[in-house]
Amino acid sequence: MVAMSDWVELNIGPHHPSTHGVLRLKARVEGEMVREVEPVIGYLHRNAEKLCENTFFCDNIIYFDRMDYVGAPGMEVGYLEAAEKLLGVFPPERAVWIRTIMAELSRIASHLIWLAAFGLELGMLTPFFYCFDLRESILTIFVEASGSRLLTNYCSIGGVYQDFNEKITDEVEKFVQDAPKKVEEINSLFIKNDIFISRNKGIGVLDKNVAIEYGVTGHMLRASGVEYDVRKAEPYLAYSKVNFEIPTSTKGDNLARYLVRIEEIRQSIKIISQSIKKLPEGPFFNPKAKKSMMIRLRGDGEVYARTESSKGEFGVYIVGDGGVKPYRVRVRSPSLRNLSVMRELGRNVMIADLVSILGTTDLVFGEIDR
Amino acid sequence: MEVKEPGRKIPLVGSLEGIMTVFKHSLMKPVTVQYPEEKEYTPDRFRFRIFLKLDDCVGCTLCEQVCPNKSIKMETVKRENPRNKRMIYPDVNFGTCTVCRNCEEICPTDAIYLTHVFETSRTKNSFLYSPEELSKPEDEVVK
Amino acid sequence: MKTGDPGILTTTLEKALEWGRSNSLWPLTFGLACCAIEMMAIQASKVDISRFGSEIFRNSPRQSDLMIVSGTVTKKMAPRVKRLYDEMPYPKYVIAMGVCVIQGGPYVEGYSVVLGVDRVIPVDVYVPGCPPTPEALTYGLMTLQKKIRGEATR
Amino acid sequence: MMEFQPGEERGKDGRRIIKVRKEDLVSTLSKLKSEGYIHLSLITGVDRKDFIEVVYHLHSFERNEYISVKTVTYNSEVPSVTSLWKSADWEEREEYDLVGIRFIGHPNLKRLFLPENWVGHPLRKDYDLKNVQYINVDEEGEDYATFDPGDGW
Amino acid sequence: MSLLSRTYSIFSILGYYASTFITYLIDSIILLLVAAVAIILTIYFFRKYMARVQLRIGPNRVGKYGTLQLIADALKLMGKESILPRLRDDLPYKVAPILVFTGLMIAFSLLPYGSFFWIGDVFISNSGVGIILLFAVLAIMPIGELLAGISSHNKYSLTGALRSVAKDISFEVPMMISVLAIVVMASARTPESLNIASVVSSEILPYGILQPLGLFVFYIGMIARASYSPFDMGESESELVSGYSTEYSGMRFGLFYVGMFGTILLGSFIVSLFYLGGYNGPYQWNLGLIYLLIKAVVVIVISFTVWLTMPRIRIDKFVNLGWKYLFPISVINLILAGFLTLYLGW
């Protein structure tokens, strides 16, 4: 026995119920207290960046779908922001609004998954099912629009593959009407609960400067007091024409992150309800990128485009060499930066708190490891 | 916009409200669709298994080119078809097909298309469908 | 009773065990990637896998019978998958969910993805799709039940 | 081969690109950081066959604009900026892993995704995809890469 | 007349010792079977209730409405390989699940269940110190959990076991003090104030109405004893995989699983006996068991709803709760009970 015998090295993961996938945390544990945490990643490294170099511009969307798989249309929008600038093929007005609606729907879907998983991590068995029930109505819209539930492959270069028809707009309007009540009901299960508050208030406080140092974005940065949202900072799609607010908080703890997320869901519903009213008539794709033109698009130069995915600032950097395939694709994954700050947050916390901090961080490994 | 933290309340009351909310749900109707007996309505655009109309295929190889992960390969089939002189037809490997619909999108004659059939699971790892098998319904494909 | 003849009692017992096993497949909570979300969706209210007795998702491999390999198995993860499989007690079953697990799926041309989990562990039922819808996975589970009872045709 | 000239130009989407020699990289970045570009968005390494281009994307919350800094290296060595941003830690490890840029002065330059003895850097243009490597786990739970499938595969 | 005396009268020709032995043996076996069936029904009810709360249907493929689901589960668990970890501590590892199960079954045999039509009073043991015996037996189960955690040679199991122990010592003292309040009250009316049956029979109003604080503390104690959410730190699934039972498989795990639901059933029986009037009801002709069952089912439904709603409390917060809140509350309750008994004569 060595002198450090009361330090136990606990290996959490790669298969562990609370790691949202395949994260491995090397934790040095002293009784119930976690002294140090070192995340080990790479268990879902699927070489998407390499494959993107060998595929047509129009086909790369499928790899971006599979990055943040809980909110796939949001990722497609992020890729197309960069790819369309590079190729010089721009979508018509209607497609822009359709993409806005899809991106916001996917943001809600992603947040609901997070809420469900967060509830399970804290030991609440039931909110999971209500979240999935609500999410199912979003997936119905996705199937109706694109034909696939999860990985939609809906947006194409220069527009969208299929138009919104009467039925989809009806579904979206119905969702906008029903969702706020259900969200409030689910929220009340969390926020009114004394144990939930005691598990989250003042836990995992992330300082503003530390957050900026580590490149943290998204809800974690906003909960720490920086009002940074790419949708406002550098409006893309139709976000400059709709009315919404950025929720922030100065507390920086788990509860603040939770509240920011819930408020984001409300704001997204607001955006959707405005967009569906403003949806213009007209063509939904750019004829330059249809049918056999799909695989003949050539791009030169380099473009870095940022979008606000459900996890934070999602950036895509594409370098083209004038061919039909990109020369280099680089993805700025928000979750990777949000995870890297775990080294700071996971110092001298209890095992139970480590789990709840991981829960509010909201990781998706398809995007971290790519 | 600053989010508001919930104010201080009497302990336990909120938790009891939550318990009542959960209990209330036990009196509601379940939303389950009992799959094998009752099938849910599937939207028109729902896509899963690829089908091929042999008569319409012109053998242009566009689907082979556009397939992101080379699931589609062209294969020679001895078959009389005036539109397809080279006698090449696509076969699809469902072991890698991601149902991305790009082949349907790019096909000039709408010969290759995706359908609602999703009951394709099997106990053997043999998912390479030849052009003839692609044009058959799923039940008749024996592997 | 002659040796080699299983006898009526043994056969009945075997049948009963098969019936029990096929109707109480407890899956392991084992999510890898995209398909894990759809695996969660079969738990959820809309599809509800508990109708088939697979309600209890156990976290410990020691207590589960069914491993739904949901999502891409990378080369770094493959030894862990194998280890988890080894930790499960017999009789154990594996469903390969999604094309990544069957033959590599969209990542078939890459450098860090295992081209089919059946190179690492034996697989009972393959469910193609990217990702398979919850109904397709339910169909796969029914196929597995049939296989356990010895009725599988495909 | 294009000659690399330090200077400033406008990119395709109208953003500023500052080109610096790699000796001046750290000083330029720290000057930009003091000017308000405190958010390091992305570090990218692009393998241009003869040389490697390293691009830094910075963002300023106050001015609400972003800027990119570009440098090239011929021997795949670049000074590390971990002293300026902690987020550079993992990003540089990732670029070292996939592109093979050695960041001089990085405190813990290990591979991020792949095991330590993986041969080659996958995002290099000369990486051979046909040379299949496998990963196994040794007794202490650490991964190692091998060309031999061996046990369990 | 009671179940015991009826059985005894059948075997009385065999002489005193033999017939006593056989009577207790047969009655114990009957109780074991009935308790096992009751636990299975509890599990089935839980699964159905959980499904309905979560807008699902629940098991419905095996048998009518899935009634045979638990039989299938049991068959499967019996046919499963039971893995023994290589570095286990052999004896404790094997004894632990049996200890949990045996403790549970003995506890069931100590309760009076009221009268049931022609059978008469249903009980196995009518000890004069039943309350002490009951809680002594209940204290066996955590030992089983502790042994399981320590002997598995797994860090998660060990942490789970340590959490269980920390949990147990922090709620048992308040729980015992609140039971003491009942004994104090009962002692004014019955000479046998430690006999469960006489405590229950002697009450005028249910003790839960007289001592709401005691009911609160005791109910929390019972939740913690059965270790479900919010007090399932010992096997918290999202943190410690499965806690102390992580390494168990097959029927050994089945015993833990049954033990957990059995404790919920037992807890609801105890709560309804002590605080909700037990088998007392408006009409006293031989319906005691039915009354008890109805009350127990109500308590079970409440327990399940709490389980499904509440998040898990952190272990240090729970220890705080136990010593800083529950302990003073239970002492206040004891003082109040003494006051009521002495001065008001309730």
Provide the mean pLDDT of chain D. Answer: 81
Residues 6+ apart with CB under 8 A from E328: none
Average pLDDT over residues E13-19: 78
Q: What are the C-alpha distances in Å from E84 to residues A60, B43, C92?
A: 49, 51, 16
- Residue-wise pLDDT tens digits, C92-113: 888 888 888 888 888 888 788 8
Which residue from D minimizes the CA distance to C81?
Answer: D152
A chain contacts of residue D37, beta-carbon cutoff 8 Å: none
Of A18, A189, A198, which has the smallest distance from its Cβ to E317's Cβ? Answer: A198
Strand A155-156 to strand B50-52: parallel, antiparallel, or no bridges (unpaired)?
Answer: unpaired
Chain B CA closest to residue A133? B31
Task: For residue E103, give both structure tokens.
Answer: 């403790």
Phi then psi for residue E164, to 5 deg, are -60, -45
Q: What's the number of CA atoms in the CB half-sphere (13 Å) around residue A289? A: 29
Which domains does chain A show, CATH number per domain? 8-369 (1.10.645.10)
Neighbors of chain D by Cβ distance (3+ pairs < 8 Å): A, C
**What tokens were used for A32?**
């119930």
- Where do the domains of chain E lie? 85-344
Asked if pLDDT for residue E73 goes beyond 50, the answer is yes
Q: Do C123 and B125 touch (CB under 8 A)?
A: yes
What integer pLDDT is reported at residue D2 of this predicted model? 53
Q: What is the maximum span of chain B, computed from C-alpha positions, in angstroms?
A: 82
Question: Residue E297: is its pLDDT beyond 80?
Answer: yes
* Res E267 pLDDT > 80: yes
Cα distance between the two ends of chain B: 60
| Tens digit of each residue's pLDDT (9 = 90 or more) over E149-163 | 888 887 788 888 888
Q: Is A305 helix (H, G, I), strand (E, B) or coil?
A: strand
Name residues of chain B where pLDDT drops below 50: none
Where does D7-108 sit in CATH, by number?
Answer: 3.30.460.80
Average pLDDT of D19-48? 85
The whole-angstrom separation of Cα A141 and Cα A172 is 7
pLDDT computed for residue A4 by the predictor: 47
Task: Give the angle subtended at the CA of E300 by the CAs of E295 and E302, to the nearest 5°.
Answer: 100
Residue A6 has a pLDDT of 66
Residue of D nearest to A41 (CA): D113
Domain range list for chain B: 50-140
Looking at residue E326, the DSSP 8-state letter turns out to be: I
CATH topology of domain B50-140: Alpha-Beta Plaits (3.30.70)
Residue pointed to by tokens 């995340």: A39
Average predicted confidence (pLDDT) for chain E: 82
Is residue C7 in some structural domain? Answer: no
Local structure of residue D142 (DSSP, 8 states): -
Could you report the per-residue pLDDT of E334-345, keeping only the tens digit for each?
Answer: 888 888 888 876
Q: Do B125 and C103 touch (CB under 8 A)?
A: yes
Length of chain E: 346
DSSP C109-129: TSSSB-S-GGGTS--SEEE-S
Q: Report the chain A residue with the minimal C-alpha distance to residue B32.
A: A133
Chains that touch B (3 or more CB pairs under 8 A): A, C, E
CA atoms within 13 A on the CB side of C64: 25
Average pLDDT of span D133-149: 74
Q: Could you give the C-alpha distances from A356 to A31, A67, A353, E129, in angstroms and in order?
A: 18, 24, 5, 45
Higher-confidence position of D145 and A120: A120
Top residue of A351, A353, A355, A357 to mutate, by most chain E CBs within 10 Å, is: A351
Q: Is B126 helix (H, G, I), strand (E, B) or coil?
A: coil
Q: Which of A24-28, A349-353, E64-68, E279-283 has the lowest mean pLDDT?
A: E279-283
pLDDT score of D151: 60
Is C146 within a domain? Answer: no
| Any domain includes C150 | no
- Nearest CB to C116 within list B31, B123, B125: B125
E50: pLDDT strictly greater than 80: yes
Comparing D8-12, E79-83, E191-195, E329-333, which segment has the lowest mean pLDDT?
D8-12
* SS3 category, A143: helix
Residues in chain A with CB shorter than 8 Å from the CB of E53 are 126
Let me know if residue C67 belongs to a domain: yes
Q: Which chain A residue is nearest to residue D114, measuring alpha carbons?
A: A42
pLDDT of residue A26: 83
Spell out, as residue ranges, where chain A has pLDDT lower than 70. 1-6, 13, 17-20
Q: Work out the minimum CA distance from C147 to partner chain D, whole angstroms.
A: 25
C78 Cα to chain D: minimum distance (Å): 8
Q: Per the CB < 8 Å rule, is A8 touching E313?
A: no
Q: Is the pLDDT of residue D152 over 60?
A: no
Q: Which amino acid is at A123?
A: G
D120 to B133, C111, D46, D52, D144: CA distances (angstroms): 42, 11, 16, 15, 14
Q: Does E22 touch chain C (CB under 8 A)?
A: no
| A95 vs E127: which has the higher pLDDT | A95
Per the CB < 8 A criterion, the answer to whether B85 and B58 are in contact is no
C and D in touch (3+ CB pairs within 8 angstroms): yes
What is the C-alpha to C-alpha distance for residues A185 and B18, in angstroms, rounded to an integer? 9
Nearest by CB: D113 against A42, A233, A328: A42
In a domain, residue C96? The reply is: yes
The alpha carbon of E336 is separated from its chain's Cα centroid by a whole number of angstroms, namely 27
In chain C, the number of structural domains is 1
Residue C4: pLDDT above 60? no
Q: What is the CATH number of the domain that holds C105?
A: 3.40.50.12280
C interface mutation test: which of A11, A55, A61, A66 has the most C CBs within 10 A? A66
- Where are chain D's structural domains? 7-108, 114-153
3-state secondary structure of D89: helix
| pLDDT beyond 60 at D104 | yes
Cβ-defined contact of C40 to A50 (cutoff 8 Å): no
Taken in order E241, E245, E249, E254, is the CA torsion positive or negative?
negative
Interfacial A residues in 317-356 facing D (CB < 8 Å) = 317, 319, 327-328, 330, 332, 336-337, 340
| D48-69 per-position pLDDT tens digit | 888 888 888 888 888 788 888 8
Query: Chain E partners of B18 at a C-beta cutoff of 8 Å?
Result: 309-310
Contact A172, A74 (CB under 8 A): no
Q: Quick one: pLDDT at residue A3?
A: 43
Structure tokens at E242: 């499965």
**Interface touch D89/A340, C-beta < 8 Å:** yes
Of the partner residues A47, A315, A369, the one whose CB lies closest to the CB of residue D41 = A315
Amino acid at C30: F
Contact between chains at C79 and D135 (C-beta distance less than 8 A): yes
Residues of chain B whose beta carbon is less than 8 angstroms from a beta carbon of chain C are 30-36, 39-40, 48, 68-70, 93-100, 118-125, 127, 142-143
Facing residue for B3 by CB, picked from A146, A162, A247: A247
Q: Is the pLDDT of residue E60 over 70?
A: yes
Rounding to the nearest 10 degrees, give the CA dihedral for residues C99, C102, C108, C110.
110
What interhelical angle do E155-187 and E130-138 show, nearest 10?
170
Please tell me the predicted confidence (pLDDT) of residue B126: 79
Closest CA to B47 of C47, C106, A149: A149
What was the pLDDT predicted at E6?
Answer: 72
